[in-house]
């Protein structure tokens, strides 16, 4: 069946080729029966998990060599969408030939990354990212059944969203991997905050230790600091002048400076700004910006504010920079 027949033409590019291939042709779907596992001297574990957040469910089969705790064979049954089938298939693949102790370290991020065609491009559209979250829980449930302990004893992650079972580490990684900037985007990608909403910000029906608004703020700050450090290291090593960067690198560098030193002051007055284009000539690097909100039409936007923006960028990136509002 063609990719377009499954997803519709509008979603053609939203799924990786690995995902659509495994939707039609999963490699590990099926069952393992106790009698055949025992015949080979192995132990069979069957674990079920259902995601209340979307209605999908998965049954995971592990055939384990009790002498080594190694998962010698694994199968799954998925009761859900095509993305859940593909995610479950990759999860099962990742379990095979690992010990039970190694398998419990597999995360939903590992599953989603394994589904990508290229490392920098998400495997599925944002609204389907949550399908890989089931791996996190069903693996720990299977391990708990094998070792005779509660699955929660393997819980090393801080769960921020109880409804969708999304951890702090997952949220931080998804924000970084996909350059997310809003809570709405986080919800699209992970389903965190999409149900009871208590984890979005203080004031919900249940107090939380971590909230999405704070995680987003802190992670974005960390990302900006990392970009600034990378730019500073490159400059100190003489590796890269601002003028020699690619357009994308230049925009990211300018964005990092604006986020660190400028945007907060604009936002305090009800305004903001965005970069429209950067053009490099023999003499200058012209950065074209657009003022937003209260800054648009403000008298100081072409005098004091413009001078402050340009001076900061000159100091931190290049003395050849000119800032031109449009």
Cα gap 45→47, rounded to integer Å? 7
3 state SS of 279: strand
Query: Can you give the residue ranges of every domain in the chain?
Result: 3-151, 157-239, 241-325
Cα→Cα distances 273→33, 44, 229, 254, 276, Å: 62, 59, 23, 12, 9
Residue-level pLDDT at 6: 44
Q: Do domains 3-151 and 241-325 have the same CATH topology?
A: no
Query: Residue 179 to residues 112, 153, 222: CA-CA distances in angstroms?
Result: 16, 32, 12
Homologous superfamily in CATH for domain 241-325: Fe-S cluster assembly (FSCA) (3.30.300.130)
Residues 54, 95, 161, 295: which is the catalytic one? 54
Q: What is the pLDDT of residue 43?
A: 97
- CATH, range 3-151: 3.90.1010.10
Q: Tens-digit pLDDT profile for the chain (326 aa)?
A: 444 444 444 555 778 999 999 999 999 999 999 999 999 999 999 999 876 556 678 999 999 999 999 999 999 998 878 888 999 999 999 999 999 999 988 877 788 889 999 888 888 876 676 666 677 788 989 999 999 888 766 666 788 987 677 889 889 989 998 889 999 999 988 888 887 788 999 987 778 899 999 999 999 999 888 877 766 665 555 545 788 888 888 888 898 889 888 888 888 888 889 999 999 988 899 999 999 888 887 877 778 889 999 999 999 889 999 999 98
CB atoms < 10 A from the CB of 259, how many? 17
Catalytic residue among 131, 161, 199, 295: 131
Active site residue 131: yes
Residue 229: both structure tokens together: 């450090």
pTM given for the model: 0.53
> pLDDT at position 2, please?
46
Indicate the pairing of strand 70-79 with strand 57-65.
Answer: antiparallel
Half-sphere exposure (Cβ direction) of 131: Cα atoms closer than 13 Å: 27
Token readout for 24 is: 């039609």
């Amino acid at each position: 069946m063609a990719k377009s027949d499954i997803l519709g033409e509008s979603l053609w590019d939203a799924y990786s080729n690995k995902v659509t291939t495994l939707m039609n042709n999963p490699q590990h779907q099926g069952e393992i029966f106790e009698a055949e596992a025992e015949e080979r001297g192995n132990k069979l574990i069957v674990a079920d998990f259902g995601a209340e957040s979307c209605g999908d469910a998965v049954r995971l089969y592990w055939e384990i060599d009790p002498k080594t705790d190694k998962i010698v064979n694994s199968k799954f049954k998925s009761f859900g969408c095509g993305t859940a089938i593909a995610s479950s298939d990759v999860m099962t693949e990742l379990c095979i030939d690992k010990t039970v102790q190694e398998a419990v370290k597999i995360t939903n991020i590992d599953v989603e990354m394994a589904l990508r065609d290229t490392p920098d491009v998400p495997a599925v559209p944002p609204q389907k990212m949550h399908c890989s979250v089931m791996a996190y829980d069903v693996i720990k449930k299977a391990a708990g059944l094998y070792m005779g302990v509660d699955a929660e004893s393997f819980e090393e992650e801080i769960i921020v969203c109880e409804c969708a079972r999304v951890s702090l580490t997952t949220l931080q990684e998804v924000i970084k991997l996909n350059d997310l900037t809003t809570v709405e985007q986080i919800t699209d990608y992970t389903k965190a905050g999409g149900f009871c909403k208590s984890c979005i910000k203080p004031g919900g029906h249940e107090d939380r230790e971590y909230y999405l608004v704070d995680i987003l703020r802190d992670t974005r700050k960390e990302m900006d600091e990392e970009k600034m450090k990378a730019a500073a290291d490159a400059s100190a090593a003489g590796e890269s002048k601002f003028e020699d960067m690619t357009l994308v690198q230049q925009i990211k560098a300018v964005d990092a400076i604006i986020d660190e030193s400028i945007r907060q002051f604009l936002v305090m007055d009800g305004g903001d700004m965005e970069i429209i284009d950067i053009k490099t000539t023999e003499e200058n690097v012209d950065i074209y910006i657009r003022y937003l909100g209260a800054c648009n039409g403000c008298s100081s936007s072409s005098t004091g504010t413009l001078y402050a923006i340009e001076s900061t960028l000159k100091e931190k990136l290049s003395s050849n920079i000119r800032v031109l509002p449009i």
